[in-house]
Amino acid sequence: MKPLIFHNPNCGTSRNTLAIIKASGEQPKVVEYLKNPPSRDELVELLAKMNLSPRELLRSKEAINDELGLDNPELSDNDIIDAMMAHPILINRPIVVTDKGAALCRPSERVFELLENPVSSFTKEDGEVLHYGKG
């Protein structure tokens, strides 16, 4: 399977993750999830593949998080998913799916574990050099 990335081009972590995938010789399917959000079923499936709760995937830094009161611990998983469906900016990114699994790639170096032939080193936009050794 071709890698799949749920990407936000305005996010440095997402851009670095996409660049690591490409530097590793892969041409992923890129889904700009703010323009083309996953369906509710796809989001639930992604959460299961990543073994994350909706709250763990919630991007709480967004102003809409506070406006909707999503930090309320009494909200159910369905309430959080409903908010993500209504406001995709609340879905944390980037999410990468490959044959090896799925993960929220924060930090971007988490993507190395999902790639067949990850590049051994990569320089991020900010100049930080990442090294990956299989082992």
Q: For residues 124 and 99, is the Cβ–Cβ distance under 8 A?
A: no
Question: Could you say which of 3, 5, 8, 11 is catalytic?
Answer: 11
Sequence length of the chain is 135
Both tokens of 25, joined, read: 């010789």
Both tokens of 81, joined, read: 């998913």
Both tokens of 79, joined, read: 């309430």
- Catalytic, 105? Answer no
Question: Distance between CA atoms of 25 and 122, rounded to whole angstroms?
Answer: 13
Catalytically active residues are: 11
